[in-house]
Amino acid sequence: MFGIGGGELVFILFIVLMLFGSDKIPEIARTMGKAMAQLKNATNDIKSEIHKGMEENGINQSVADITGNINAEINKAKQNLIGDAPDQLTKIQNDIVGDLPGQVAQSKEELDELTGPIKRQR
């Protein structure tokens, strides 16, 4: 929220309390709330007018078509660059990770064999 931390917000509220007093703060908050609601309504009205104008002039459809075409071209470029790399990456991943549980179990058994006599001596 505007780059203001918790401590800074508490300090600002303390200053406001000292300047206006506790009896004026609810009135100020109510006024600010109404102003924020009016501002939000005004921006929503402006947005709706802009969208209506775009729909009337057919600009909205053009933007959607352009976006779709750009995404399609990006996907084609990715496919050309990557090629069959995902298959190769999956194969490499399976080669590396595929035998990992077996290797961990084998290492555990070897460790148990080595530490078995040590544990018994204690």
Per-residue pLDDT tens digits for 82-113: 665 666 667 766 766 666 677 777 888 887 77
Total count of domains within the chain: 2
Query: Could you tell me if 9 and 47 lie in one domain?
Result: yes
Query: Could you tell me if 7 and 46 lie in one domain?
Result: yes
20-48 per-residue burial string, b: 16 or more CB within 10 A, e: under 16: eeeeeeeeeeeeeeeeeeeeeeeeeeeee
Query: Could you tell me if 67 and 95 lie in one domain?
Result: no
What pLDDT score was predicted for residue 25? 85
Confidence of residue 2 (pLDDT cuts 50, 70, 90): low
Query: Could you tell me if 70 and 91 lie in one domain?
Result: no
Percent of residues, the chain, with pLDDT higher than 70: 74
Mean pLDDT value across the chain: 79
**Domain containing residue 29:** 1-83
Query: Could you tell me if 75 and 122 lie in one domain?
Result: no
What pLDDT score was predicted for residue 66? 76
User: Does 60 or 18 have the greater pLDDT score?
Assistant: 18
pTM (2 d.p.): 0.40
Query: Could you tell me if 65 and 105 lie in one domain?
Result: no
Query: Could you tell me if 69 and 94 lie in one domain?
Result: no
Query: Could you tell me if 5 and 65 lie in one domain?
Result: yes
Query: Could you tell me if 19 and 57 lie in one domain?
Result: yes
Query: Could you tell me if 21 and 56 lie in one domain?
Result: yes
What angle do helix axes 100-121 and 85-98 make, rounded to 10 degrees? 20
Confidence of residue 74 (pLDDT cuts 50, 70, 90): confident
Query: Could you tell me if 66 and 7 lie in one domain?
Result: yes
